[in-house]
Amino acid sequence: MHLWLALVGGALHPLALAPVAARPLALVAPLALLIALEQKPQRGALTGYGYGLGLFGVGASWVYVSMQRYGGIGIATSAALTAAFVAGLALLYALLGALYARGRAQFPAPQLTLFPLLWLGIEWLRGWLLTGFPWLYLGTASLDTPMAGWLPLVGTLGTGYLLVLLTALVWRIGTDLWPTAENTTSWRARMRAALVGLTAASALVVVGAIGNGLEWVTPRPHTQMEVALVQPSVPQSLKWDPLVADATVEQLQVDSEPLWGVADLIVWPEAAIPLFPVQIADVLETLQARALQSGTALITGIPTLAPAGDDDFIAHNSLITLGATPGRYDKQRLVPFGEYVPLERWLRGLIRFFDLPMSSFHRGAADQPPLHAAGLQVLPLICYEVAYAGLARRTPVDLLLTVSNDAWFGDSWGPHQHLEIARLRAIENGRPLVRGTNDGYTALIDHRGKVLQRSERFVRQTLRGKIQPTDGQTPWSRWGRWPLWLPLISVACLWLGHRRHHHRTA
């Protein structure tokens, strides 16, 4: 029974996020895991593994779509690779369960101290291990709730920790109010404990609600930027077809023609130009001249080449700026198998999926400066990079920009989740965010994470609107994850005090 409870809890976790967005499930899901771990603490690893299988089996199902529909892999192989992906990620929650089962007897109130801290540690670990998978974080579910006020304070990871702490408080209140054979304390003592837990839980929600009403940054008065985002909606099956490349670029130029001199910034999505600059030098020269003449900057995705020794080059997934302040950004966080192949010597050529077009990119440098457009500093994030909160706060800028090609995900949950993650970065940093995609969701998002405008999916269209830059920094933007050391230090002190008390009474 405990294993099924954990599995169901894990499956409910992604339902708290887009597109279902049943936010209260963000409390129910970890509560199910906690109850399951308390029922069978000796089977902590298996219980945690069940939660991980439910979480990634439901929430990351779009991996199958990418491989089967666009990776040229058969149904059986795609299903097997997806199952391996889910099973591998679930091991992290097996680690959570094992550590909780092993350490629960050594901590006072382990449900309130150890469990939320382990959750925080596991979410941090899976955002870093093997380049990381910072997706489906529980803190994402705070969007559009009172708890969203914590995002500019402690970020998504910290807010996820607080949601799990809130869940643990609910569990503790329930156990205090519900008499059991193990709970031998008096009725009055249990009522006092429940009242303390209720006060603490209410404080978390109230502080979050107050934070929702605070302005950590100041919208810049009388400064608005007219942005136009071109969504070409090129089918993924044709994206890298050399016979279609010229037509793709021509389509982008036609869609952008009415925007020159009208918008301050035109954005084309990730790899919008499916050719290297040397192959399309005349078009880039024309676009540069058009940008200078009109006073409109253009930022576009394009694969680029960089020298790498004698007569050799490496490829980057890049963004370039055309106009008065030309610039370039090379993607730092690459998607395994989509943009590079781990263990390439052994895997390249094994199956078609390992030979996808443009799957030999190299990482860009970590110290790249922001781009400049229309007098503003723009921090670029290409596709998957927007999921890395640290990349979005690496330097104070005026505007966050992310471009993507979500055609890989088809009509799955992936694009919905991707847009939701972009909203997190805007709130955390108190900066407006512009999101340009190939086939949706293209969007304009303000500094509070509100979607001002959003495109439809699978539609060729241009999205136009105004964004307002902000001044100042949020606590998260200023300090990053440093405040998250506080719960670690607090729990460590409680553990030491508990051990000393245990030794005295032993």
Q: Are 132 and 207 part of one and the same domain?
A: yes
User: Residues 102, 238: one domain?
Assistant: no
Query: Has residue 351 been placed in a domain?
Result: no
CATH number of the domain at 408, please. 3.60.110.10
Q: Do 236 and 278 fall into the same domain?
A: yes
352, part of any domain? no
Residue pair 392/384 in contact (Cβ under 8 Å)? The answer is no
The helix/strand/coil state of 348 is: coil
Q: How far apart (Å, rounded) are the C-alpha atoms in residues 5 and 308?
A: 53
Instruction: Write out the two tokens for 429.
Output: 């940093």
Count of structural domains within the chain: 2
CA distance 449 to 132: 24
- Write down the pLDDT at residue 41: 87
Q: Are residues 232 and 247 in the same domain?
A: yes
Q: Which residue has the tokens 């001249």?
A: 289
Same domain, 90 and 238: no
pLDDT attached to residue 346: 47
Determine whether 253 is exposed, middle or buried from the number of CB atoms within 10 Å of its CB (0-12, 13-18, 19+): middle
Could you give the residue numbers annotated as active site?
270, 331, 383
Whether the bond between 303 and the residue before it is cis, its omega within 30 degrees of 0, is no
Cα gap 403→438, rounded to integer Å: 8
152 in a domain, yes or no? yes
Cα end-to-end distance, the chain, whole Å: 35
The reply to whether 198 and 277 lie within a common domain is no
Same domain, 325 and 420: yes
Q: What is the CA radius of gyration of the chain?
A: 25
Same domain, 382 and 271: yes
Distance of alpha carbon 186 from alpha carbon 173, whole angstroms: 15
Exposure pattern of 301-330 as b/e (b: 16+ CB <10 Å)?
Answer: bbbbeeeeeeeeeebbbbbbbbbeeebbbb
How confident is the model over 129-141, as pLDDT tens digits? 878 999 999 999 9
Segment 410-430, tens digit of pLDDT: 889 999 999 999 999 999 999
Q: Chain-centre distance of CA 318, in angstroms? A: 20
Identify the residue whose tokens are 């209140």: 173
Domain presence at residue 145 = yes
Beta-carbon count within 10 A of 267 CB: 29
Query: Which string of b and e fits 132-154 if b means at least 16 CB within 10 Å?
Result: ebbbbbbbbbbbebbbbbbbbbb
Query: Residue 199 belongs to what domain range?
Result: 2-214+480-505
Are residues 253 and 158 both part of a single domain? no
Residues 260 and 117 in one domain: no
Residues 130 and 247 reside in one and the same domain: no
Spatial separation of the C-alpha atoms in residues 304 and 362, rounded to whole Å: 10
Whether residue 268 sits in one domain with residue 388 = yes
The tens-digit pLDDT sequence of the chain (506 residues) is 889 999 999 999 999 999 999 999 999 999 999 999 999 889 999 999 999 999 999 999 888 888 887 777 788 888 998 999 999 999 999 999 999 999 998 898 999 999 999 999 999 999 998 789 999 999 999 999 999 999 999 999 999 999 999 999 999 998 887 766 566 677 788 888 889 999 999 999 999 999 999 999 999 988 899 999 999 999 988 888 999 999 999 999 999 999 999 999 999 999 999 999 999 999 999 999 999 999 999 999 999 998 877 668 899 999 999 999 999 999 999 887 667 655 555 444 544 545 555 557 889 999 899 999 989 999 999 999 999 999 999 888 999 999 999 888 888 999 999 999 999 999 999 999 999 999 989 999 999 999 999 999 999 999 999 999 999 999 999 999 899 898 889 888 888 877 776 666 65
Q: Do the domain assignments include residue 432? A: yes
Residue 472: inside a domain, yes or no? no
Could you tell me the two tokens for 359? 């799957």
70 prior amide bond cis, ω within 30: no
Q: Is 360 a member of any domain?
A: no
At 222, list the tokens. 């009388």
CA-to-CA distance for 392 and 402, rounded, in angstroms?
10
The DSSP line for 408-451 is GG-SSSHHHHHHHHHHHHHHHHT--EEEEESSS--EEE-TTS-E
Three-state helix/strand/coil letters over 105-125: HHCCCCCCCHHHHHHHHHHHH
The two three-digit tokens of residue 437, written as one number: 């995609």
State the DSSP code for 18. T
202 vs 171: CA distance, rounded Å: 14
405 part of a folded domain: yes
Q: Pairing mode, if any, of strands 399-404 and 433-437?
A: parallel
Determine the Cα–Cα distance for residues 292 and 325; give it in Å rounded to an integer: 9
Distance CA 243, CA 227 (A): 31
pLDDT, position 200: 95
494: enclosing H helix or E strand = helix 485-505
